[in-house]
Every structure is written in structure tokens, then in C-alpha cells.
Amino acid sequence: MASYYNEHTILFLDGKFVKAADATMDLYSQSLHYGYSVFEGIRSYKTTEGQTRIFKAEEHFERLRNSASALNLPYTWDTAELIAATYEVLEKNSLQDAYIRPVVFAPANMSFVQNTISHITIQAWEMQPFLGAKLLRVMTSSFQRPNPKGFKITAKAAGHYVNSILASQEAKANGFDEALLTDMDGFVAEGPGANMFYEKEGQLFTPATGNILPGITRATVFELCAERGIRVTEKQITLDELKQADAAFFCGTAAEVIGWESLDDVTFKKNWNNALSKELQEAFRERVIENHREAKPAAIEQTGILVEG
């Protein structure tokens, strides 16, 4: 297992910066017993000019708020305050290329009734910059994504990830790199922790919203395509149609943009190096380390870490 912290690591817990090794949570928490918490996966990058920048920080913390609200978890923090706290966590741990994990969790409560308070932690650990050229062998999972009528599927809720864990472990046990899950009607949905696109004759296609987490990276791929005049269509996608694609990729905060070699051992037609998808992978890589793209939120000025305009 990866090592996420050591005796020097500092995390943010309910407004305080504390040593990870000393931080505690209540073992009677409703979150531990029922998977009832929400979280975010965010990345920071060392920019081309050497500064530390959290990619799409506002979008991630707004999604955290929306996830909490969807699950009736009290949420009392403001986004600028949490972004400032996150930059401070990065600074205190001397991190630049990092994975950042905020979690909003419940107090002790064995019943199903709503709580009056929530807790929040923000943790960060080092992330290797960009996975690069490795292509994935993907397997169609025997697990489907949760029924959106049974869960708030657009919320990033911890409990949903039992489904992700089962699918990912099944794919690996069968010798594949990652799983592709369908929705309850058998249409292509997403990976255990990433959205997907396929490329066919110079256009991109991706599952419509409704059965997926609408990813922030997915939205970035839309932006990159719009800037390049590449047409993207959101639709219901069948597995057969996907296997006829020229190329395909996963995209997500942790995965970034990562190409597929094959689906169920059916190899994609185009050499990844000649695919439009590869150009988008490179464009994404440049976008995350750009220095001047996002305006600096006012609350962050004081930390002095983020000095872009």
C-alpha cells in the first residue's frame, strides 16, 4: 500500500492544522458504519513557473458542497476558506504535485436521522506528475453503476465507491488494468473513478449525464475540444459501438487523460500516437500546469503561495 502520511504530515481537521498521526475520528461515526460521507479528489500541480496551483479548486469545493447537500450532510464552510486551508496544507507539507482529499463526515450516530453537524478533513499527499503513455487494457465489468433512482448519483458519496472497488478488483483479478461499468440499462457509463470518451472519425463521444458522475476533467475535455473545434456528442453508447471506435480514454482528476489499448481484448483501431485523443491528453497536461489560467481567489492572497494573476 502507498504511504499517505508520516510522522511529520499535517492535515486540516475542523478548522485546525494537526499532525496526521495525532488526528482522530469517532469510531461510532455514521460515516464509518454506513458509508455516509462525501469527498473530493483534487490535484495541485507545480506550474511552468514553479508555483503551486490547485486545478479547478472552486469547481471541486462547490461539488463537495453540492454532494453534502444532496446527502443532507450539514455544510457550514465557504469555498474560499477551504481553498485557503488547502493551500496551507500543501505549504505545511511542502507539496506541489499533490493529490488532495477533502472529506465531510458525520458524527457518532447509529440511527438514520440527520445530524446537526458535520466534520471536515483535508488531507494531501504527493502525486507523481502525469502517468503518460501507458495504455490500459479495460474489461467490461459484471457490475453496473448504481441505479440513479437509488442513489444521488451526481454526489461524490463514499458509499458509492463500494461499487467502484468491486468493479476495479474484479478487472484486476481477471488480468485487466481497469473496469468499464455500464448503467442499469446496459449502456456504457464510466470507470470506477473516471469518465470515458471514445473517438471515431475525428469526433468524440461520451455518455450523457444521468448515470455518471459529471466529472470536472470531463468538463475540461469539453473545453479543450471547443477550443480546437472538435465535435463532442453526449449520448447513450453501446458496448458494440464502443468496440468499433478508433480510440478511447478515461479521464478524471487522478487518471488525468489516459488512453485505452483495448476493451475486452478488442484492440482499438488507431495507434494512440496518431489519435486525436492523444492530442487532447497533451493539451490537458499543458492546461493543468498553466500558470495564468485561473483568477486567484481573494482569500488565498495571504498565503503567498499562489502568485498568479
Catalytic residues: 156
Which residue intervals of 1-78 are DSSP H helices? 30-34, 57-70
Residue nearest to ligand PMP (CB): 215
CB closer to ligand PMP out of 146 and 297 = 146
DSSP-assigned beta bridge partners for residue 300: none
Q: Closest distance between ligand PMP and the C-beta of residue 309, in Å? A: 25
Exactly one of 37, 96, 118, 195 binds ligand PMP (CB under 6 A); which one? 195
DSSP H or E stretch at residue 102: strand 98-105
* By CB under 6 A, residue 281 contacts ligand PMP: no
Angle, CA 175 vertex, CA 172 and CA 180 arms, to 5°: 55
Alpha-carbon distance of 218 to 101, in angstroms, equals: 19
> Distance from CA of residue 299 to its chain's centroid?
24
Q: Closest distance between ligand PMP and the C-beta of residue 61, in Å? A: 12
Nearest C-alpha neighbor of 250 from the set 185, 184, 176: 176
CB closer to ligand PMP out of 36 and 250 = 250
> How many other C-beta atoms can be found within 10 angstroms of the C-beta atom of residue 39?
20
Interface size with ligand PMP, residues (CB under 6 A): 12
Q: What single-letter amino acid sits at 98?
A: A
* By CB under 6 A, residue 252 contacts ligand PMP: yes
Alpha-carbon distance of 37 to 236, in angstroms, equals: 30
Coil vs helix vs strand at 253? coil
Contact pattern for ligand PMP over residues 28 through 47, marking x by CB under 6 A = -------------x------
* By CB under 6 A, residue 253 contacts ligand PMP: yes
> In the Cβ-directed half-sphere of 299, how many Cα atoms lie within 13 Å?
13
CB closer to ligand PMP out of 106 and 221 = 221
Distance linking the first and last C-alpha atoms of the chain:
39
User: Which range of residues in 90-98, 103-111, 215-223, 291-299 is near ligand PMP by CB under 6 A?
Assistant: 215-223
Alpha-carbon distance of 36 to 230, in angstroms, equals: 39
Contact pattern for ligand PMP over residues 145 through 184, marking x by CB under 6 A = ----------------------------------------
User: Which range of residues in 102-110, 212-220, 227-235, 236-244 is near ligand PMP by CB under 6 A?
Assistant: 212-220
User: Interface residues for ligand PMP in 68-127 (CB under 6 A)?
Assistant: none
Q: Closest distance between ligand PMP and the C-beta of residue 109, in Å? A: 26
Residues that bind ligand PMP (CB under 6 A): 41, 190, 193-195, 213, 215-218, 252-253
